[in-house]
Amino acid sequence: MAGKSLKLYGLQHLDILRRYRDIPDRALHDMRVVGQVLPFRVNNYVLDELIDWAEPDEDPFYRLTMLDRHMLDSADFDALERAMRVGGSAPVEVTAAIHRRFNPHPGRQMTMNMPELGGSGVSGLQHKYAETCLVFPASGQTCAAYCSFCFRWPQFIGNRDLRMATDESQRFVAYIKVHKEISDVLLTGGDPLIMRASVLRRYLLPLLGADLAHVTTIRIGTKMLGFWPYRFTTDDDADDLIALLEEVVRSGRHLAIMLHISHPRELETAAARRAVQRLLSTGAVLRSQSPVVRGVNDDARIWQELWSREVRQGIVPYYMFVLRDTGPRAFFEVPLARALEIYRGGIRQVSGLARSARGPIMSTDMGKVAVDGVADVGGTRSFVLSYVQARVSDWVKRPFFARFDDSATWIDGLQPLSSSDRMFLARPEPVVARIHH
């Protein structure tokens, strides 16, 4: 079948938007300014098939991918604009200061989860929970379009100090080999499925060897279904990719494709529907996860439709996340109390099969914290919280409490209800996973 070719558009191609809408010069200028610090990329599928140009300002995908001056505070915006007047683009000292304020590594992932092998760090690897290891393939640290809220934005801005990626020697394989407690390996990014099938093979095949028999599950995190579904159908190496996924399944490993799906419309296009069928034909299990994002999907009806549609198309609803504490968070964030309302509003209207979705979940330094509800505890209105996944495994599913606060948007804005709740909310000292061989 003849396919569409992926065309990527960055900041230098902003004028292309004029083909789709009447956009004032001022709006394009603002995007250029914000684009000095936040990555921008769209493609021909997002523009032609996903965004509804009848009402772009109300469109979730327009909001998801385009830049807006309110993503920056006005002092930062003005500083960038002034600097651009002089040199055309903002100098690195101006952009670096803003990047630092954007908290490039929430969860202190550069210091807390970076493992060591033989006395030196293994780049492109994170080992936070005993059984799960994250691999950031060097060639997969980009995406077919960028979500402007992305918590992985340091991967895209070309700053090597902020970026996580494997080195050429693939030491991550040696690390996993000696860590027999690792049962799950997650390839993540960016988007690992942006890699050619031949490159992805170099990451997947070593994991299938007899010396890594303890790795029983391979997960691949991707938004290709939403941003470029032709990756699985008509790209020139789509058949090779599908064959590779089949090979993983044939090896006896559980293969989970972790789909980032922000909105049900991502599943509605003909290209996306075909892509889901092809992925399912490999024997992989498709699971979905996404943060709740203001202006994109902060409505219970959207999640109800999303989860129901996922089940109909063969995808298992998995996580609704709270936006992480990084990047232009103030622009997109949804308070925890509101996120809980949205989750409850959606989940109570779907069938039992769609209630596999857990949420709202904060992925924090200490683990994944679920906001389970709001209750009166000893006369004080409180959030009921629990760890779904924790560095301290004994904390999992132990309820704890924080004072209700309808403006809190992250765990660091919560006050423990009593002294026994304090430890669950405290930040740990950085530790580095260590092994010497």
What residues line the site for ligand SF4 (CB under 6 A)? 143, 146-147, 150, 152, 189-191, 223, 260
DSSP readout, 208-248?
A: GSGGGTT--EEEEEE-HHHH-GGGGTTSTTHHHHHHHHHHH
Of 136 and 303, CB closest to ligand SF4: 136
In single-letter form, the type of residue at position 204 comes to L
Of 302 and 402, CB closest to ligand SF4: 302
Of 324 and 358, CB closest to ligand SF4: 324
As a whole number of angstroms, the distance between CA 123 and CA 111 comes to 12
Of 221 and 367, CB closest to ligand SF4: 221
Output DSSP code: residue 307: H
As a whole number of angstroms, the distance between CA 111 and CA 101 comes to 17
Task: Report the nearest approach of ligand SF4 to the CB of residue 364 (Å).
Answer: 18
| Contact (Cβ atoms closer than 8 angstroms) between residue 356 and residue 395 | no
List of E strands, 279-421: 285-292, 315-322, 358-363, 367-377, 380-390, 400-403
Of 98 and 150, CB closest to ligand SF4: 150
Task: Report the nearest approach of ligand SF4 to the CB of residue 234 (Å).
Answer: 21
Count the alpha carbons within 13 Å of 181 in the hemisphere toward its beta carbon: 9
Task: Report the nearest approach of ligand SF4 to the CB of residue 174 (Å).
Answer: 26
Task: Report the nearest approach of ligand SF4 to the CB of residue 210 (Å).
Answer: 33
Of 156 and 400, CB closest to ligand SF4: 156
As a whole number of angstroms, the distance between CA 53 and CA 55 comes to 5
Question: Closest residue (Cβ) to ligand SF4?
Answer: 150
As a whole number of angstroms, the distance between CA 231 and CA 241 comes to 9
As a whole number of angstroms, the distance between CA 41 and CA 16 comes to 12
| Contact (Cβ atoms closer than 8 angstroms) between residue 30 and residue 69 | yes
As a whole number of angstroms, the distance between CA 305 and CA 349 comes to 9
Of 146 and 401, CB closest to ligand SF4: 146
Task: Report the nearest approach of ligand SF4 to the CB of residue 148 (Å).
Answer: 8
Task: Report the nearest approach of ligand SF4 to the CB of residue 371 (Å).
Answer: 21
Task: Report the nearest approach of ligand SF4 to the CB of residue 102 (Å).
Answer: 14
- The residues pairing with 409 across neighbouring beta strands, listed in sequence order, are none
As a whole number of angstroms, the distance between CA 303 and CA 291 comes to 11
| Contact (Cβ atoms closer than 8 angstroms) between residue 174 and residue 209 | no
Of 191 and 372, CB closest to ligand SF4: 191
Task: Report the nearest approach of ligand SF4 to the CB of residue 33 (Å).
Answer: 20
As a whole number of angstroms, the distance between CA 425 and CA 401 comes to 9
In single-letter form, the type of residue at position 406 comes to D
As a whole number of angstroms, the distance between CA 165 and CA 135 comes to 8
Of 293 and 371, CB closest to ligand SF4: 293
Task: Report the nearest approach of ligand SF4 to the CB of residue 324 (Å).
Answer: 10
